[in-house]
Structure 1
Amino acid sequence: MAETFDFRVLAKDGKARCGEISTPRGVIRTPAFMPVGTVGTVKALYPEQVRDAGADIILGNTYHLMLRPGAERVAKLGGLHKFMGWNGPILTDSGGFQVMSLAKIRKITEEGAAFQSHLDGSRHMLSPERSIEIQSLLGADIQMQFDECIELPAAPSEVDRAMQLSLRWAERSKRAFEVQRASGGVGPGQALFAIVQGGTDIALRQRSAEALVAMDFPGYAIGGLAVGEGHEAMISTLAETLPALPADKPRYLMGVGTPLDLIESVRLGVDMFDCVMPTRNGRHGHAFTWDGELNMRNARFADDASPLDAQSSCPAARQYSRAYLHHLIKSGEYLGAMILSWANTVFYQDLMAAMREAISAGNFEEWAAATKARIIKPPAAPER
């Protein structure tokens, strides 16, 4: 195990690259997809299933864990890794996105975000300093700066304001992280990533990236996308933003996304992703397969004896028929959500592994074209 945080690019094919992030808790193979363990669990899965699926790292959520069970409680119980039984690396987000999307009442000031809990209405203040303190109490291997994430579309003046505030919060987050390191709150090999903001305004994105690169963070995230701007706008924004980030540090696209999003973003040089889609879609009866996305509620699967996905490395996807899964989902049985969440999590990890292999072999473009032709299908027939 590495004693320090380190990133190495092992192969490139065009702008796409594969590499390794070394941490004291293990190596993260990139491009990497991080299953989302919002409240200390990747929903419907055992930690062993997540690891066996091929995930090297998972994501935990600062906002949710600070409200329940509380960061101080998790720390007393040995930290998030011990608490949830996951011995690999964990990245925690800063809580900024959830404050935007879930808080009942929020007020953004220079100090931070004052908000009411979506659970019980209790009042809280989340500042850069408190966000870093919570992430340190949880024991995150990779922490994220506190930022303001806004929904798109938004007025240019509002996007500019939020970007500049996020830059000031980045400085405070970094100072708070160093205070935690000096006091033993974070150890060797734990790292803090910055977050580039600016909506779809390329000039703002580049200003944000330039200022953050000057602060010299170990890694850089692109935040504030997949919030209403659409796939094409997201990809074009990425294409203009990524060249402003250091080539020798990890690049993380936050909250993304569909298999198409992942393929197109890796083509541009993104190294890390997270998204709730594998488990959320699974709970709602949708399966990601090498035959495309399938809505298992659809009546066309009622008599389909073929396996969910014969090409999957997930045992359940090969074992259980589409007819059985259709029955489970239509009946509201927990097992249906569990199987589909497991199969989807494996699919996403298999997709990332295939991209790493294609980059290493130097045939990423050919692989991407063939794969998109297989898995990106026209919308399925309406449910009946």
Structure 2
Amino acid sequence: YLNRGKNYNDYRKALTFYTAPAQNFVFASVDNDIAITPNGKFPLKWKDQGKFILDGTDPAYDWQGWIPASQNPTVKNPPRGFVSSANQSSTDKTYPYYINWEFAPYERGKRINDRLTAMTKATLDSIRLMQTDNYSIMAQNLLPALVPLVNTEQLNATQKEALSYLTKWNKRYDAKEIAASVFEIWTKRLSFDIWNDDFEVDGIPMRYPSRDRTVEMILKEPNSKWYDNTKTSKKETLSDLVNEAFKYSCDSLERRFGPINKDWNWANVKQTNVPHLAKIPGFGSKVLMIGGAKSTINALGESNGPSWRMVIELGKTPKGHGVYPGGQSGNPGSKFYDNMIDTWASGKLYDLFYMQSADDKSGTIISRLKISK
């Protein structure tokens, strides 16, 4: 039904037949309507229901039906002129239903919105280049709060040099950025220092509070009780933890790579690769010396991140562009097994063949398969 829809109403009607898994459905039409609908079949729950284990034998804890499909979160033709999502929370506090309590951190969504807001007369390249944007809102937020807390008098030569890189950093997780390596390990260690003493229980898996909550606390609650390490007699402060984590970051990089040199570059520290689906050694990709990080639009980690990239140019005849990190053959001996890796890694896209008719000759057709009754 969605493939045959002609307008916004057809789009919304089609979504009533889609139940799971919940997905973001983005819409644009020749009528100049745009929309986004986080769509699925959402249960009616009270606030925080399901966040913790409940008594399944008591019907009082059962779901009370379903959110009407017509009231699923939807934005149509917003004044800002675009819609977007990076899996952050889909609603604000005015939305009357409880959907969930856990979403992706907000930084990627904010950076996408910042870039889209600044765009005028957007082109294919405007969007393509945004897909590999390595700027970190988290670094933008945290660096001004963390750097002043570093006690420079207690730093060794390597640590002072690393701090110098950080103070000059453009906050981009680009491949050759040394500061990105220092900052990433520093903030991960700081999160560990803040939460581990409180959220470590032998034999019981525990999760730290979210990154959003951690950043909020660092920025707005300098005297929070959570900074104290309950396993020591001393009362630790945020400054204590910041300094321990910074030295830890520098020392761990120095142990791995020696004094600051090109091996401290973010791409070398991150070691991005595309592993084989079944993790068979030798069948995955080479190490890709590229940037990106989980807090950036280009959310590349060591072995996962945004795979399929696509840009569609709308118009009388739509034009599609896309790429994924692999190839169109599952045979490791085929030249088509991983021939798209470098194109994907460099942020480029292939033109997609969108057939206009059964005998369209505009693309290269290697073979045809006819299915008869």
Normalised by the length of structure 1, the TM-score is 0.23
Structure having the higher Rg: 2
Structure whose residues are more often strand by fraction: 1
Normalised by the length of structure 2, the TM-score is 0.23
